[in-house]
Amino acid sequence: MAVQALDAARVPIDWQRLALPAVLVVVAYGLIPAYASSYLVEAILLPFLALSLAAVGLNLLTGYCGQLSLGSSAFMAVGAFAAYNFNLRVDGLPLAATMILAGISAAGIGVVFGLPSLRLRGFYLAVSTLAAQFFVQWALTKFGWFSNYNPSGVISAPHLIVAGFPLDGATGRYLLSVTTVIVLTALVWRLVNSATGRNFIAVRDNETAARVIGVPVLRTKLLAFAISSFIIGVAGVLWAFTYLRTVEPAGFNLDRSFQILFIIIIGGLASMRGAFLGAAFIVVFPLVLSRLGAFLFGGLFDSGVLDMSQRIVLGALIIIFLIAEPSGLSALFDRLKRRIGSRSS
Partner 1 sequence: MSYYDFLFAIEVLVGGLLSGVMYSLVAIGFVLIYKTSGVLNFAQGSMVLFAALTFVSLVERGIPFALSLLITFAVMVALGFTIERIVLRPLVNRSPMTLFMATLGLSYIIEGAAQLMWGTQVHGLDLGIDDTPFEVGGILISSFDLLAAGIAAAMVAGLSAFFYWTRIGLAFRAVADDQFAALAVGLRLPRIWGTVWTAAGFVALVAGLLWGARLGVQFSLSLIVLKALPVLVLGGFDSILGAIVGGLIIGASEKLAEVYLGPFVGGGIEGWFAYALALVVLLVRPSGLFGQKTVERV
Q: In the chain, which ranges are E strands? A: 155-156, 161-162, 165-166, 246-247
* Minimum distance, C-beta of residue 95 to partner 1, in the bound complex (Å): 32
Q: Which long-range contacts (CB under 8 A, 24 or more apart) does 307-315 make?
A: 310/285, 310/286, 313/285, 313/289, 314/262, 314/285
Does 305 bind partner 1 (CB under 8 A)? Our answer is yes
Beta-carbon-side half-sphere exposure of residue 42 (alpha carbons within 13 Å): 8
Q: Which of 18, 22, 119, 165 binds partner 1 (CB under 8 A)?
A: 119
CB-wise, 83 or 140, nearer to partner 1?
A: 140
User: Which listed range, 13-21, 78-86, 121-129, 169-177, lies at the site for partner 1 (CB under 8 A)?
Assistant: 121-129
Q: Which of 15, 35, 123, 145 binds partner 1 (CB under 8 A)?
A: 123
Tell me the β-bridge partners of 155.
247
Collapsing DSSP states into helix, strand and coil, what is residue 193? Answer: coil
Q: Which of 148, 179, 309, 327 binds partner 1 (CB under 8 A)?
A: 309
Q: At what angle do helices 217-238 and 195-205 cross, to 10 degrees?
A: 110
Does 36 bind partner 1 (CB under 8 A)? Our answer is no
Question: CB–CB of 69/129 below 8 Å?
Answer: yes
What residues contact 260, with CB distance under 8 A and at least 6 apart?
Answer: 51, 54, 55, 58, 72, 73, 232
Does 314 bind partner 1 (CB under 8 A)? Our answer is yes
CB-wise, 71 or 233, nearer to partner 1?
A: 71
Question: CB–CB of 165/174 below 8 Å?
Answer: no
Q: Which of 39, 143, 165, 297 binds partner 1 (CB under 8 A)?
A: 143
Does 250 bind partner 1 (CB under 8 A)? Our answer is no
Q: Which DSSP symbol is given to 13?
A: P
318-337 residues near partner 1, rule: CB under 8 A: 318-319, 322-323, 326
Q: Which of 150, 193, 194, 206 binds partner 1 (CB under 8 A)?
A: 206
Does 311 bind partner 1 (CB under 8 A)? Our answer is yes
Residues in touch with partner 1 (CB under 8 A) = 68, 116, 119-124, 126-128, 130-131, 134-135, 137-138, 141-143, 206-209, 212, 254, 258, 261, 265, 304-305, 308-312, 314-319, 322-323, 326
